[in-house]
Structure 1
Amino acid sequence: MKNQFFAAALIGLTAAFGAHTANAQEPQRFETEAHAIEVTTFASGLESPWGLAFLPDGAMLVTERPGRVRLVSPDGTLSEPLEGAPQTESFGQGGMLDIALDPDFADNSRVFITYAHVEGDVAGTAVWRATLQRDGTPRLVDGTQIFRMNKLSGRAQHFGSRIVFAPDKTLWFTIGDRGQGERAQDATDHAGSVLRIDRDGNAPADNPFIGTPADDLIWSIGHRNPQGAAFNPWREELWTVAHGARGGDEINIPKAGLNYGWPVISYGRHYSGGKIGEGTEKPGMEQPIYYWDPSIAPSGMEFYTGDAFPQWQGNVFVGALKFQLLVRLTLDGDKIVSEERMLEDLGERIRAVKQGPDGHLYLLTDDPDGRVLKVSPAS
């Protein structure tokens, strides 16, 4: 890609390659409404970490937006960057993005990665499938691109993108509007959509737009920039959380074939202060189940099912970049009935939140010297 395309958005590569171990650090204690908790650094030395996936043995794979995938051992040691990752470039909000394990990972060792696919002066969100090998030097092999959004552009923002596997083993992922809001209303354009594919990149037979002029892979449209998604294990439905503009961050439960309104309706305003679209509602367009105004800049979402924090069971957690905190949301069915803002004194932009095999929460900090943070019950 030509240098001028990135001139306004490039970030310096500051992370050193090679092994790093978690920094020695005293736990930070916080009191929350339900539990006293401790936050410790589990791993450090990551440059703008974006996605996190736990392996069966407690190790994890972490993506770094500048274009790397690392294996983090159960003691917090980082591997060298794994060979075999897809090629990408870090610009604006693009680069190496989310990562998830195949539902049959125990048998096939496959992983799936979203990233910015670059062609000359244009780019777009893509999905890569590869096999993780850990005999000798950890690496990714047999990598192949199984999806690339159908209309690339020169914009450097709003790539999405989170990957979620459903119980039926279909792969759901999000793509932002790429900074061109009108594209989110076009059901032939992947921008501003939630998409659903099988593990080879094909459209499942029950996708909503099959047999219509719209794109077969699209599940729902009208999304601005969803950077959080998780599957509700109790109601067996996908939830997403998306950035608004100046206000209007949204949590949605995307339904097949429906339109979630961006940029025709929104609870936010343009950064200039001007009105967005036609207001907050319109027939034929869905309402969010929850929104924030002002914007917290949400990224990452996780439903808590563990035993380490009994009073958090059934809650959903969302990271926040702008407000530098972790949000805990209490649910009643598909309604959000209360919100607690946590970890504000950390002063960290929270990019991702995941429940570990131990039932603790793990957070990625969005920083040139990023960390994996572990949230545990206070001792």
Structure 2
Amino acid sequence: MKNLIVAFIVLLIGCSEKQSTIPSLPTKEIVMDGLNHPWSMAFLSNEEALVSEKDGHLLRINLNSKEKRIIKGFPTDLTDSIRAIHFGDNSGIFEVLIDPDFTSDPWVYVSYAAKVPGKGTTTKIVRAQLKNDSLLQHQTLLEANPFTKEYYHYGGGMTFGPDGKLYITIGERLYWEKDEPEIPIAQDVSDKRGKIYRINPDGSIPDDNPDFGPNAVPGLYAMGIRAAQGITVEPKTGNIWFSEHGTIQGDEINILKARANYGWPNVTSGKLRSQDYTPPKFEGVTFTPPVWFWQHTVAPTGLTFYTGNEFPQWENNLIVPGLSRGSLWRFRIESEIIKSAEELFIDDRVRIRKVRQSPDGKLYILTDEDNGKLIQIKAQ
């Protein structure tokens, strides 16, 4: 009898262990809709967040009450919403971040497309203090001159690194490679476009930034960028990862390295849009290959690493959304190598601009639609 009881207990323990290893299935729950092509989200608490609308406003939202309040005092040089006039127009409000010490120093960092009448637009990074739902004490941190008539590939991704520095992606701004100057924009260290920057929170340049030579633009950290929007820190290692848009395929995931050249337009994992264009050859230049690239178009956007408890099997996995085909991907990583990839919600596709995790570990996505939605990814 005693042996039977022991065997029964062992059987129960075994069943319990098997149940604990059953993966939690993800499902979507709409938290809020009525957002105008939302781009980014910064949590002020588990219940409150700032949300940037690419074609609208900077909002303060409450996830419980569903209240939305417009943040006043946004810079007045923001581009008008002209999507209906210019096909594929990418201008508007992009990333929103809060200072790592926000409770004591309430700085909000925003990237957006700024305009100068008669000259065009460019990517601009500002910070301001948030007080009583208003932005005060504006400071310009980076203006990616020149202003041009192109409405594409602004970049605008931002993240704070574990070193406390602000990392910024700036797109190349061209649609056709045939419009490249003699030295391609992303390969010209004197041109602010097509680069990744590392600056101090006040806009000054860190003393330990890499040296690209006397003609390099201030704050330059890496180059050879076409259209990078998403950039995030891997909590486990401190590595910074970013997504990159190709042209005809060529979408990539990269790890940011100081002084790296990611190759655009000289090398790409896809094809050039201007197939008769041949980029110049550079002697002695080393191009950094991507960690991952897709064989089809994904248009990857604002990625993040998952550290919550709701999906134990996803711990430290990289979650990457996409605009094309409504993709949402989960990558398992070991030692800077992507070991496996899973595409989620293939039966429920929607353009996704950003994935964010709340302070208490809940996972959210923002959909890029006229009736944009904030959606929580929950265990079924």
TM-score by length of 2: 0.85
> Counterpart in 1 of 2:153?
158
Q: Is this contact kept in 2: 1:209–1:215, CA < 8 A?
A: no
* Larger Rg belongs to: 2
> Counterpart in 2 of 1:362?
364
Q: Distance in 2 between matches of 1:283 and 1:132?
A: 44
1:118 to 93, 115, 118: 115
- 1:1-379 superposed matches below 5 A: 34-75=23-64, 77-87=66-76, 88-89=78-79, 90-91=81-82, 92-120=89-117, 121-134=119-132, 138-179=133-174, 182-209=184-211, 212-271=214-273, 277=279, 284-378=286-380
Q: Distance in 2 between matches of 1:286 and 1:278?
A: 17
Q: Distance in 2 between matches of 1:335 and 1:209?
A: 28
Q: Secondary structure at the match of 1:323?
A: helix
Deviations 1:220-242 (A, max 9, x none): 00011001110112221211101
TM-score by length of 1: 0.85
Q: Is this contact kept in 2: 1:247–1:267, CA < 8 A?
A: yes
How far is 1:142 from its partner?
Answer: 2.1
How far is 1:63 from its partner?
Answer: 0.4
Q: Is this contact kept in 1: 2:252–2:291, CA < 8 A?
A: yes
Deviates more, 1:265-274 or 1:334-343: 265-274
Superposed CA RMSD in Å reads: 2.0
Identity in percent: 33
Structure 2 portions without partners, runs of 5+:
1-21, 83-88
Instruction: Give the aligned length.
Output: 341
> Residues 110 and 276 of structure 1: is their aligned pair in 2 closer, same or farther, counting only changes over 3 Å?
same
Give the letter aligned to residue 45 of structure 1.
Answer: G
Q: Distance in 1 between matches of 2:241 and 2:122?
A: 23
Q: Distance in 2 between matches of 1:275 and 1:290?
A: 25
> Residues 133 and 212 of structure 1: is their aligned pair in 2 closer, same or farther, counting only changes over 3 Å?
same
Q: Is this contact kept in 2: 1:266–1:276, CA < 8 A?
A: no
> Counterpart in 2 of 1:19?
none
Q: Is this contact kept in 2: 1:268–1:276, CA < 8 A?
A: no
How far is 1:343 from its partner?
Answer: 1.5
Q: Report runs of 4+ in structure 1 exceeding 4 Å deviation.
A: 272-279
Structure 1 portions without partners, runs of 5+:
1-32
Q: Distance in 2 between matches of 1:168 and 1:283?
A: 28
